[in-house]
Structure 1
Amino acid sequence: MSKAARSVRSFVSAAKAAFDRAQSAAPVRDFARFAEGDRVLINDVKLLDPLKQGKTTEWKYGHINHDSIIGAPAHSLNILSSRGVTLRVNHPTLEQFVSLSPRHVTPIYAQYAAFIVNQLDIHVSPPANPSSPLEILDAGTGHGSLAMHLARAIAAANSPPPAARYPRLPQANLATTITQDEAGLADVWKRWKETRNAVVHTVEVQDVWGRAAERLIRSFRQGLYWPHIDFNIGNVDKWVDQKLAERGQAFLSAVVLDLPDVHLYFPRVLAAIEEDAKLVIYTASITQLCECEKLIEAQGLPLKQEKVVELGSGISDGRVWNVRVTVPRARSRQAASTSSPSSASSDDGESEKVMICRPKVFERLIGGGFIGIWRKTRPVSKPVEDPDVEKISTAE
């Protein structure tokens, strides 16, 4: 046997041994206790740095000893600061975690993220085909808030994650040496991920933001939702092209886009969305939603708008908007009654279409920003008459 062959064989054996150790001797995560790496809430106002053995954090009431928290039961805990002040320690809710955690970018706040997840109407169940899991795309990752809310919605579809520790996070722009134990650990997680019935794919073009979001998600309750999310750094169009080349067919059950110039991503992303699946966008401007409707109309994209909702403080339950390109009813009737087919050109038909952009009256939902929701359908053959547009007189 050659030296190279012996080396490969030795590495494989070591990796297998590491895999076995990870399965049998790995520490079990005890979610009933505070653990190293968690971020805990002090007096309902301060989100502490990730807990670490031997570390202390300075606050206005004195130093907080992390060792007094790690391993304690994860219910309301009282500890003493270095000044003798009694402090209350709790796990933060997901809403508190999102609003109080450090950030590189403004998050989709919990109430808006929850609204988006609710509109997707996700129901997890064992797939008819084990090779066809429920797959959701979240682009871009940003702070990571929406990815966590989506993961919480689909986590019940998956079997319990391995008891093994999480793999080491790669460092940006740095080559890292992988040890044999780490290779075995990576294999443990790879095997489990292949069994998932549901997964959130989150894509972020900014390397710094994407890695910060992954670190942040790992610090929420011992990384409770991290196993259900696949993190990707890069352009969403390239990610979609790569996955379509691998799969050969549409595979996404839902898509949420929080991107600048979001309408430009519609044609490419649409190719990866399954029929009847939902496409949701979150944007700060109603004009972005208008651009989406214009593009759908101009390119004849098979998308049917379900809802446009404005969210924000001062709007208690969210306000529904009417945003679409349409043919006014009077013009539509005039075109239908025209005796000669040649009397109206296709160019004239295009020029008669108008853009509607106004709040609907007496309609409210839960919840700033704007959320647009479409469903992928079969292409529609022709526009229908719109009763919501006022008649436009054509008499001269």
Structure 2
Amino acid sequence: MDALIGRRMMDRVKDSAGRDVFIYEPSMATYIVHSEHRAVPIYPHDANTIVAMMDLHPERPGEVYDPADEPFEVFEAGTGAASLTLHIARALHAGNPSLGRRLREAIPTAKTTAIHRPSKSDESAEGAVTTTTLASLDLGDPSLREEAEAYLPTRRAILHTLDRKALHSFEAHNLVRRFRRGIYLPNIDFHTGSISSYLTPRLASRNGRPFLSRAVLDLPSPEDNADPVISALRPNGTLIVFSPSISQIAGFAAWSVEGAKPLKLDRVAELPTSSSAEYGVQECEGGRAWNLSTTVPKGEDGEDGGGRRVVQIMRPRVGDRIAGGGFVAVFRKMNERVGEDAAGVAEEVSSEDVADEGIPVEVEKNDDSPKDDSRNV
């Protein structure tokens, strides 16, 4: 560690085995994979795919976002290890105004003593929601806190991430703050509590007018907590459901139809599993990882005056563990009237007449026609 103090990026130092090591700033993927986690992270290649499916396009500061001129708000239920949190915050970053220089430089060294560190089993009391923002940091100078509080209402793209466990939220906050000197921290509000306890009062304060443009449910039983999220989602807003099992996705889709929810299933995709830990580090959405290295065989270092023989090793990377995978469903929020019409159609059609795409359709039956038992439903 002493050898690293005072060094610059791309300086070369020796590790404990005497090997040359170059210093460089880690990518987001490397940072996430090699950080300590209490919760299992969404691996970077999966997080990249989910963010792409969210189709995020926040307007730049000064551009008209919508007639109401309201911010672009994203809600993530299930902060966990904050891997997806960081990826979403990066996608929203260009939609916010810049921080003042003093405030930006104060974030990496700010103390978190103002933020209570909870115990492992600590959960928010029912009905209570704790929120941590940029202004929650102990920035030292009171004027910086005032600047942080003044900055928050000017944001045009905001990620609200919520977890039931206070310890997850606390450690996620620290993970985000330590990456690239807290560059994405101002974009995020961290909430601890239940989904209903956070969203229901906000909806009430707006007389039921929705405010979310995107939402992500990364929960064991998403249908148990989806109602307030659907209510807070704007028409044509996107709801992402991430689950490790396709049966959970199917269960949520069935719950949506049976409960006449104003949702339209857009698509379902399976995330690729990786047999290599390194594949999770690479910020790619496909392709096979390869080993490519250059070395000099032992005994051919040229000490006897002869030339060195350089050998290149090129081969596919073989895995040492299975990482990532799961299923992602994309739903779009319909207008309430359209949702009611779709629900009426669903009630009139039996389950055996549901098309492969999951859209209820009327099928004309003819009793004289031969039966085809091979038809897949």
Q: TM-score, length-normalised on structure 1? A: 0.64
| Structure 2 match to 1:147 | 85
Cα distance in structure 2, aligned partners of 1:231 and 1:103? 17
| Structure 1 match to 2:374 | none
Cα distance in structure 1, aligned partners of 2:367 and 2:30? 57
SS at match of 2:92: helix
| Structure 2 match to 1:341 | none
Structure 2: segments with no counterpart, 5+ residues: 120-135, 276-284, 288-323, 358-362, 372-377
Cα distance in structure 1, aligned partners of 2:18 and 2:326? 44
Cα distance in structure 1, aligned partners of 2:148 and 2:205? 21
What is the percentage of aligned positions where both structures have the same residue?
A: 27
Q: Tell me whether 177-186 or 76-85 shows the greater mean CA deviation.
A: 177-186
Displacement of 1:79: 2.5
| Structure 2 match to 1:188 | 147
Q: Deviations over 1:177-205 (max 9, x none)?
A: 99895543322111111111101111111
Letter in 1 for 2:242: Y
Cα distance in structure 1, aligned partners of 2:66 and 2:200? 26
Equivalent of residue 277 in structure 1, options 224, 230, 237: 237
SS at match of 1:293: helix
Letter in 2 for 1:369: G
Determine if contact 1:130/1:197 at 8 Å carries over to the other structure.
no
For the structure 1 residues 266 and 394, does the alpha-carbon distance in structure 2 shift closer, same or farther, using more than 3 Å as the test? Answer: farther
1:19-168 correspondence to structure 2 within 5 Å: 56=1, 64-69=2-7, 72=8, 74=9, 76-81=10-15, 85-125=19-59, 126=63, 127-128=65-66, 131-163=69-101, 164=103, 165-166=106-107, 167-168=110-111
Displacement of 1:296: 0.8
Q: TM-score, length-normalised on structure 2? A: 0.67
SS at match of 2:181: coil
| Structure 2 match to 1:230 | 189
Matched, 1:171 2:171: no
Determine if contact 2:195/2:228 at 8 Å carries over to the other structure.
no
| Structure 1 match to 2:126 | none
Determine if contact 2:163/2:193 at 8 Å carries over to the other structure.
yes
For the structure 1 residues 128 and 80, does the alpha-carbon distance in structure 2 shift closer, same or farther, using more than 3 Å as the test? Answer: same
Q: Deviations over 1:84-110 (max 9, x none)?
A: 643211111111122111111111111
| Structure 2 match to 1:307 | 267
Displacement of 1:149: 0.7
| Structure 1 match to 2:204 | 245
Equivalent of residue 345 in structure 2, options 382, 387, 390: 382
Determine if contact 1:263/1:288 at 8 Å carries over to the other structure.
no
For the structure 1 residues 110 and 180, does the alpha-carbon distance in structure 2 shift closer, same or farther, using more than 3 Å as the test? Answer: closer
Whose relative contact order is higher, 1 or 2, with alpha carbons under 8 Å and at least 6 apart? 2
Displacement of 1:283: 0.7
Displacement of 1:65: 3.3
Equivalent of residue 257 in structure 1, options 213, 217, 220: 217
For the structure 1 residues 185 and 287, does the alpha-carbon distance in structure 2 shift closer, same or farther, using more than 3 Å as the test? Answer: same
Letter in 2 for 1:240: L
Displacement of 1:139: 1.1
Letter in 2 for 1:303: L
| Structure 2 match to 1:345 | none
Q: Tell me whether 159-168 or 227-236 shows the greater mean CA deviation.
A: 159-168
**Alignment: residue pair count:** 280
Displacement of 1:236: 1.5
Displacement of 1:132: 0.5
